[in-house]
Amino acid sequence: MNSFKCPLIEKIQNEKARMYFFLGEIQKRYPNPVCALTHSDAFQLITATILSAQCTDVAVNKVTPALFAKYPTPTVMAEAKQADVEKIIHSTGFYKNKAKNLIAMAKMLVTEFGGKAPDSMEELVKLPGVGRKTANVVLGNIFKVPGVVVDTHVMRISDRLGFVPGGDPVKTERALEKLVPQKEWINFSHQVILLGRDLCAARRPLCGKCPVNPEYHIIKPVS
C-alpha cells in the first residue's frame, strides 16, 4: 500500500475517536450515497460488479445497457456465446475471463438458485467471479443486509487513516466492522469510495481540500 499517512492520525491518535470524526465528516460530505453501478435487479448488479474489477464504474455503465438489453436475465445469459459477450464488454478489460465468469455465474443461478440471486454471503461467493466484495455489494444494495464493501479505495484510505495496515481485503473488512457501527456499514462503503475518487487518490491525494484533514477546518473558506 501507499506509505502516505493522513494528517488526522497525528491530530487524533485514539483509533475509535479518529473513526468517529472520520464518519462525521464523510457523512456531511456524502449524506445520501448510492451505488454508482447502474442496475435494476440483483442479477444486473452482480454482473456490473464483476465487470468493475480493474475498471471504473463509469466505464462499466457504458457497456451494461447493451449487455442487459441482449441478456436481460440469467436464463438468457446462461445460453450466451462467450465471444458475443466479449465483444460487448471488451472495453472493461480482462474481458475473456469476465465473459467466462458471467456466463458461468448465470448458469449457476439458473441450475442451483432457480434463476434468482441468493441472499447470503455463503451462497453468493459460490458464484463464479463473485468474491466477498461483490457479495457485500449485492447484499447491501439489494437485500439491505449490512456489510462493509472493501475495494481498492477502502483499503487505501483505511491504511492511510491508520485503521488497517497493509492491503488484505478480508482483514480490512473485519477491522472496519469493529470500528464502524453496523447501521452505517452500507453507507460507509459508498462514502469512502466516493472520497477516494474525489479527493484521496492513490498518487496525489488532495489533502488541502479534504474535510478529514484537520488543516482543512483551519483554512476552510467561508461558503
Multiple choice CATH, 8-34+147-217, 1.20.1180.10, 1.10.1670.10, 1.20.210.10, 3.40.50.300? 1.10.1670.10
Average pLDDT over the chain, rounded to an integer: 94
Catalytic residue among 151, 159, 168, 220, which?
151
Write the single-letter amino acid at 64. Answer: T
Catalytic residue among 133, 144, 168, 178, which?
133
Q: Is 159 a catalytic residue?
A: no
- Statement: residue 179 has pLDDT above 80: yes
Q: Given this model, what pLDDT does residue 221 score?
A: 52
Categorize the per-residue pLDDT at 219 as very low, low, confident or very high, splitting at 50, 70 and 90.
Answer: low
* Residue pair 146/183 in contact by the 8 Å Cβ criterion: yes
Q: Is 151 a catalytic residue?
A: yes
Please identify which residue in the block is written with the cell numbers 497493509: 166
Q: Which CATH number does 42-141 carry? A: 1.10.340.30
For 92-137, write each residue's pLDDT tens digit: 999 999 999 999 999 999 999 999 999 999 999 999 999 999 999 9
The domain spans of the chain are: 8-34+147-217, 42-141
Nearest 5°: the CA angle 23, 28, 29 is: 100
Q: What is the DSSP letter of 202?
A: S
Categorize the per-residue pLDDT at 36 as very low, low, confident or very high, splitting at 50, 70 and 90.
Answer: very high
Q: Which residue has the higher pLDDT, 220 or 80?
A: 80
- Alpha-carbon span 108 to 75, nearest angstrom: 10
